[in-house]
Amino acid sequence: MDESIYRNLAEFLNRLPDGFPPSDTGEDLRLLERLFTPQEAELAVHLTLERETAEIIAGRARLPLDIVAPRLHEMAQKGLVFAAQAPDGSSLYQAVPLVVGIYEFQIKDMSPELLAAFRAYWSTAKESPPVETVPQMRVIPVGESIDLPLQALPYEQVNELVKSHNRFAVTTCICRRTAKMRGKGCQAPEESCLIFGDWADYYVRTGRGRSIDRSEVLEILGRADAANLVLQPSNSRTISFICTCCGCCCGVLRGLKQHPRPAEVVASAFVVRLDPEACQGCWTCLDRCQMGALVAGDGHVILKSERCIGCGLCVTTCANKALALERKSETARIQVPPTMDDTWHIIVRDQAMVQ
């Protein structure tokens, strides 16, 4: 292994959203060597978070276009970069972070060996300095939990988010797939993560997902609600994806569950309100909640509001309307940028201020 090539790539990825912290054991470089050929690693550092033609990237890399264009195509096929199509049909290429990006793009090629390499890296990576910035993902309520008087904004409502798109794909949840590869996991549907717009085109074009129509999107969302899955879209007003997440497999939700006050750190605009007098103690909501925010009390549930992430799962099955969502205060809500690309640019800017 030419360590300098992969070290340059590691430093490049560490400047992208949520970084790529080094590992003292060398697992970071070994992971990159498994993913990238030396030639791909040398080219990858010349991409940016802007979507650019192969010609522009070739000029920056000082390499012939007839070498760079097929290499970028192959890298997009391997899930190492993102590729979109310009209106004229030409390809545009963009760097992507390790997460959300390269890791999720390995869904069709994930093997026990590759998963072990990811886990070896994550278990040895140094802790990054805290960065005050926007998250890559947020939590929105399941569709039926939004009450009309709540006046939720369009990008806070799953049905409105779906209406704003006309190209859809579905892919396998990499969290549940890899959990099962480790002999763990749950029975929630695997093919359940929804992809939209340019990202949907990429997933279908590269064989990472299948094209679906809007009606199937709504069916998948209905199954997600029935399976107690939390909706986590990209943190953008125009969404690129919606992950349907369980508390046992999803890394984001597992991290939230370990926090003593998830409501204070989750990216969500809502929290649940309880009317104890209306509660009849059916306990249905206890199994629905992924955070342990609801516990059995003396004849009615007890709400631990500090643990509520505002997913609305408990609301949709509360027959007595004892649970309802309410909006958080302005100071407790997060910034939702226009697009995923905007989100990435904000994170990179904020990371640069602490590095």
DSSP per-residue codes, 78-135: TTSSEEEE-TTS-EEEE---IIIIIHHHTTTT--HHHHHHHHHHHHHBPPPPP--S--
Alpha-carbon dihedral sign for residues 160, 164, 165, 166: positive
What share of residues in the chain are helix, strand, coil (percent, to 5)?
45, 15, 40
Is the pLDDT reported for residue 147 higher than 80?
no
Q: Which fold has domain 260-332?
A: Alpha-Beta Plaits (3.30.70)
Which one-letter amino acid corresponds to residue 284? T
CA distance 275 to 22: 49
Averaged pLDDT for residues 197-222: 98
Averaged pLDDT for residues 9-30: 97
Is the pLDDT reported for residue 219 higher than 60?
yes
Angle at 180 between CA 176 and CA 186, to 5 degrees: 60
Q: State the pLDDT at residue 282.
A: 94
Give me the chain's average pLDDT, please.
Answer: 95
Q: State the pLDDT at residue 149.
A: 60
Give 143-212 as a DSSP string: GGG--GGG---GGG-HHHHHHT-S-EEEEE-HHHHHHHHTT---SS-SEEEEEEHHHHHHHHHTTSSEEE
Helices 27-35 and 3-14 pack at an angle, to 10 degrees, of 100
Is the pLDDT reported for residue 180 higher than 90?
yes
Is the pLDDT reported for residue 132 higher than 80?
yes
- pLDDT digit string, tens, across residues 256-296: 999 999 999 999 999 999 999 999 999 999 999 999 999 99
For residue 1, name the pLDDT band (cuts at 50, 70, 90): low
CATH code of the domain occupying 3-128: 1.10.10.10
Domains of the chain, by residue range, sit at 3-128, 143-255+336-345, 260-332
Q: By percentage, how much of the chain surpasses pLDDT 90?
A: 91
Is the pLDDT reported for residue 148 higher than 60?
no
Averaged pLDDT for residues 146-158: 80
- pLDDT digit string, tens, across residues 77-119: 999 999 999 999 999 999 999 999 999 999 999 999 999 999 9
For residue 26, name the pLDDT band (cuts at 50, 70, 90): very high
For 93-103, give one letter per residue: b (16+ CB within 10 A) or e.
bbbbbbbbbbb
For residue 242, name the pLDDT band (cuts at 50, 70, 90): very high
Angle at 135 between CA 134 and CA 137, to 5 degrees: 140
For residue 36, name the pLDDT band (cuts at 50, 70, 90): very high
